[in-house]
Amino acid sequence: MKKKNTKSNQSSTIALNKKAKHEFFLEDKFEAGIELQGWEVKGIRAGKVNIADTYVHIKDGEAYLINAQIQPTQHASTHVLCDPGRTRKLLLKKREISRLIGARERQGYSIVATAMYWKKCWVKVEIHLAKGKQAHDKRDTIKNRDWQRQKERIMKHNV
């Protein structure tokens, strides 16, 4: 008997926040679960997610995802009120939340969401502690990236 291949060829990534790398220095990474309603899961499966301007707000010892846009599908139930931009609770351990609070309040970090992905059957959000970049920092990043690209080209042609 042949064994069934349970892994699919599809990527587990749902949405990326590419702007976050450009706007911030990303430091510590955390993985958080997210509290979703049924229509939101259907919207995520359909790929109707945008986390471009998403950040995390901490209130009363709980973390919330702000500005994540999940559009409902056309087949969403009519008796459920679908709010695409609603605030969603993040599922983190108390130790992680206290670390986020300390970094935000004492060291001036922002907390931004950088990716949303599937992990087995659960939706996870990747969040980072981040420091804002100034205009000259962005120029340095671009210059370094171009120099790395040039070095690779030179090494490729010299071999």
* In the chain, domain spans: 13-133
pLDDT in tens, 53-94: 888 999 998 999 999 888 888 776 667 778 788 889 999 999
- pLDDT above 60 for 3: no
Residues paired with residue 69 on neighbouring β-strands, in sequence order: 50
- pLDDT above 60 for 97: yes
Residue 116, number of CB atoms within 10 A of its CB: 23
- pLDDT above 90 for 109: no
Q: What pLDDT does residue 11 have?
A: 65
Would you place residue 108 in the very low, low, confident or very high pLDDT band (cuts 50, 70, 90)?
Answer: confident
Which DSSP symbol is given to 67? S
13-133 is a CATH 1.20.1250.20 domain? no
Q: Which two tokens stand for residue 118?
A: 């599937």
